[in-house]
Amino acid sequence: MKKMNIVIAANETNKTALIEWSYTNKNILEQHTIIAPGKTARLLKGVLLVPVLQLSPVTTGGIPELEKMVEENEVDILLFFPSLQDQDVVADKFRNLLTLASEKDILIAFNTTTANLVLQSLANNKELDIEIATLKALS
C-alpha cells in the first residue's frame, strides 16, 4: 500500500466529531502522513499518537501553505470537516486551494461519509482511481 499524504482540516465546531472520527479510523490514519493546520494538527497528534505535520492556522497562513504543497504534488487527499453554516465561507476561503486540487486530481472529501469511503479504500489496499471533476462552480 502506498503511503498517502492526507490533509485534514476541521471547523472549530466539529472538533468533538473529529476526535471520534479520527479515533475510530486510527489504525488506517496512522499508516499515512497526516497534515493539518493549527489546532486540528495538535488535536490529531493527541488522538492518533503519531507525528502530524502541523501547518499554520488557516487564519494565519495555513491556506497558502496547503496551496504550495498541492502545487508541488505533496498532497494526495484533502479531508474537510466544515460546519454546515460555514460551507459558503469555506468555499470562499479555500477557492484557490480547491481549484488547484481539482486540477491535480487530488481526492477531496467534505463529509464523514466520503472520508470513511476513502479510508476504507485505503484499508482495503485498493488503488484510488477516482477522477475529480473541475470545480467550475467555484471559479
Identify each DSSP E strand in the chain by its residue range.
Answer: 5-10, 33-37, 52-55, 77-81, 107-109
Query: Rounded to the nearest 10 degrees, what angle do helices 15-24 and 38-48 cross at?
Result: 40
pLDDT tens digits for 46-97? 999 999 999 988 778 788 898 999 999 999 999 988 776 665 666 677 788 8
Residue 106: all three cell numbers together: 487530488
Kindly list the structural domains of the chain, giving each domain's residue range(s) and its CATH number in brackets, ordered by start: 5-125 (3.40.50.1380)
Q: What is the pTM of this model?
A: 0.82
Whole-number Å distance between alpha carbons of 128 and 87: 26
Q: What secondary structure letter does DSSP report for 32?
A: S
pLDDT tens digits for 89-129? 666 777 888 888 888 889 888 888 888 888 888 888 644 44
> Amino acid identity of 52?
V
